[in-house]
Amino acid sequence: MEDDLRRDLEATTAARRELGPAHDDELIEAFLERLDRRLAESSGASERALKRTRDHQREMTLGGMAISIPILAIAAFFAGLAGVIVVCAMLAVIAVASARG
């Protein structure tokens, strides 16, 4: 994208040399519009990626919580407090791993 922007700026500068200073405003305005369009496109892509990441984190957390209910009951029945602590530690690991991405 930087190469495209650089070529665009070079083309605008070359056009200014050919047309002269009388067309500066139009050339600058056109370049800024293209720059704004590119920034809007890249910001839209990053917003979509952030939404996907947040959705994934929520799914992992809710999935971990849903599966923890029967696992906690089984761990408490067979292993007592130690089993419950292990299950809680594993839930924490899942939460941290999903947060990192």
CB 40 within 8 A of CB 56: no
Burial of 44 (0-12, 13-18, 19+ CB in 10 A): exposed
Mean pLDDT score of the chain, rounded to an integer?
83
Residues 45-100: tens digit of each pLDDT: 778 888 888 888 888 878 888 888 899 999 999 999 999 999 999 888 888 887 77
Tell me which residue has tokens 């791993």: 97
pLDDT computed for residue 71 by the predictor: 92
* Band of residue 40 on the pLDDT scale cut at 50, 70, 90: confident
